[in-house]
Chains A and B, each alone.
Chain A
């Protein structure tokens, strides 16, 4: 303990100067600090992700240069570029990011779909991205939900909102079919059917617990 003559107060910290006025203290009794010293440490992973970004930019620049040199009609260097960008996003957002895994899955899947569409355009648009890749992604997420429900058995009902969201998502390829963008509707129909069946199955088999979950989620007070 020490005394600040300027402020006329006792200081209980292990220090030589007053935290209020920064004048030198007069020491009276030995004391120990009651708070730990916790300055933030730099995070190694964040550094790693910055190094990755730098290397990716160098590699992509080289690829674009080679692309131009090779005089190819196709802008092929965009494909590895997109893949590396996706790698960076996974590192920054999925590994270092702090949002929940549901948000991460949705955002990363959405970005993956957009990238696949972009690649489709790069190699001369033939529509395979929207015909097959998009509904496949929806099916993949549906299967993921099913697996998560099995793993997290105690809270299986909490995935029902996600199932509803996936039904809404699976309507998108059907709408694209209606406006003529999707030309081969088999997978789109399958994705919609699977999403709807997953939800209905949970609702029917889950019975009361599933209904209560919906009541909770949709309560208007």
Chain B
């Protein structure tokens, strides 16, 4: 009799829970759906993205312990609803793309079983525009660039990792609780719109650059090569040259292209490396939408034989002349002014897409490569013992078959090459030059160059 009572009580409870769930769903169905406009740079990404050019980047964190899938899924389920900037799906309007609150369960966490940075389809993956995978000690976050740039990605990955560690180590959870870190921004303002000045002057390069060519890896394959260096050693070398680490690494990249591909000969076309600049510090913004512009480091060999010092000087001068508030403002103001033109706004989306694709293809070949610097990533004091390293890299794009990403954690800097060419001579020249300058280099790859 007692048992029977218990069973009915349990059933009643279940029934009540079911009723509550239903009520919640009904309430949700009546609530307004949150929606948002894309930022200025994001307009381009859905137009040009596809299997061959995914516009996806990866940021990953390596822990000191093996990753548990169930805990990672649980952490993602907990963190995602708090991030308005990730809990989104992409929709197509008549005049513009836009974001709409997603609301579906978080995407499934999977063990890494494919090459990195694959295209993220709008209608797959629970319509989310990012994916989370893991492999051994590493958690990978792959983000479609339309959502946010590297800063926003790091923000999210850090919180996901914190939550994961709190679940894996209940003591840590007791100590710090389950709320987001106070350093994390959830701001979603469009800082391009907020800071632009009316302008009609085009600021970026469209003349063709020297492009890397050669035999490609088999379709779908993607090469990754990390080079680890110690920051104190790097600093010493850069100090001796009188340049920043960023300038030095970009210059070594260009030097490697100059010596390995151009064989130190004069060329009709310059080597031009696009360098994305995070605009937040210049405009006092903490947005988690995209907020960066591209400047370019250019080296044009017109005579026989340049020394590395000459290349470095050209590169650092070229970067320094461009990275200042006035110039950066000019660069994005042109794009924003175009977006604000009423005549452009009322053009139907499919026509806009055609125009954007045309402009993109003509300007895409203006850069040999992209070298981006994510900067030094730090984690909260409590989590430091569990975190070993961060990595980041970008997917290929039109004309650019070898990109570089700089990222550092603690006193280790990692320069990650991502590529789809079989020949690795630029990587070889790059790391050999750094080693020759007296910096110890350790290489790790994803194995596409073996066999």
Binding site for B on A (CB under 8 A): 1, 7-13, 15, 17, 19-21, 32-40, 98, 100-101, 153-154, 157-158, 161, 208-209, 212, 216-221
Provide the residues of chain A in CB contact with B447, threshold 8 Å. Answer: 13, 15, 33, 35, 37
Which B residues from 90 to 114 make CB contacts under 8 A with A? 91, 93-96, 98, 100, 103, 111-114
Q: Is the CB of A221 within 8 A of B444?
A: no
Q: Is the CB of A12 within 8 A of B424?
A: no
Nearest-neighbour CB distance to chain A for B383, whole angstroms, equals 21
Known: A34-B136, A34-B444, A36-B135. A220 touches B346 (CB 8 A): yes
Provide the residues of chain B in CB contact with A217, threshold 8 Å. Answer: 91, 93-94
Q: Is the CB of A20 within 8 A of B428?
A: yes
Provide the residues of chain A in CB contact with B113, threshold 8 Å. Answer: 36, 38
Q: Is the CB of B138 within 8 A of A158?
A: no
B440 at the interface (CB under 8 A from A): yes
Give Cα A216 to B96, complex, Å. 9
* A-B contacts besides A10-B441, A33-B447, 16 pairs, CB < 8 Å: A10-B443, A13-B443, A13-B445, A15-B447, A19-B424, A19-B449, A20-B424, A20-B443, A35-B447, A38-B113, A40-B221, A100-B122, A100-B123, A209-B30, A209-B32, A220-B96
Provide the residues of chain B in CB contact with A21, threshold 8 Å. Answer: 428
Give Cα A100 to B431, complex, Å. 44
Q: Is the CB of B100 within 8 A of A19?
A: no
B207 at the interface (CB under 8 A from A): no
What is the interface residue range for chain B against chain A? Answer: 35 or more
Q: Is the CB of A17 within 8 A of B450?
A: yes
Nearest-neighbour CB distance to chain B for A164, whole angstroms, equals 9
Provide the residues of chain A in CB contact with B442, threshold 8 Å. Answer: 1, 9-12
Looking at the complex, which one of A7, A9, A216 makes contact with B93 (CB distance below 8 Å)?
A216
Contact with A along B133-151 (1 / 0, CB 8 A): 0011110000000000000
Of all A-B residue pairs in the complex, the 7 with the closest CB atoms, nearest first, are A35-B446, A20-B428, A12-B444, A8-B435, A10-B442, A100-B123, A9-B441
Q: Is the CB of A13 within 8 A of B444?
A: yes
Which B residues from 26 to 65 make CB contacts under 8 A with A? 28-30, 32-33, 35, 37, 62
Nearest-neighbour CB distance to chain B for A51, whole angstroms, equals 22
B21 at the interface (CB under 8 A from A): no
Q: Is the CB of B450 within 8 A of A219?
A: no
Q: Is the CB of B32 within 8 A of A10?
A: no
Nearest-neighbour CB distance to chain B for A24, whole angstroms, equals 13
Give Cα A157 to B401, complex, Å. 42
Known: A7-B428, A219-B95. A154 touches B444 (CB 8 A): no
Known: A12-B443, A13-B444, A36-B112. A153 touches B29 (CB 8 A): yes
Provide the residues of chain A in CB contact with B28, threshold 8 Å. Answer: 154
30 contacts between A and B (CB under 8 A): A7-B431, A9-B431, A9-B435, A10-B441, A10-B443, A11-B444, A13-B443, A13-B447, A15-B450, A17-B450, A20-B424, A20-B428, A20-B431, A20-B443, A21-B428, A36-B113, A40-B218, A40-B220, A98-B121, A161-B94, A209-B33, A216-B35, A216-B91, A218-B94, A219-B37, A219-B98, A221-B95, A221-B339, A221-B340, A221-B345
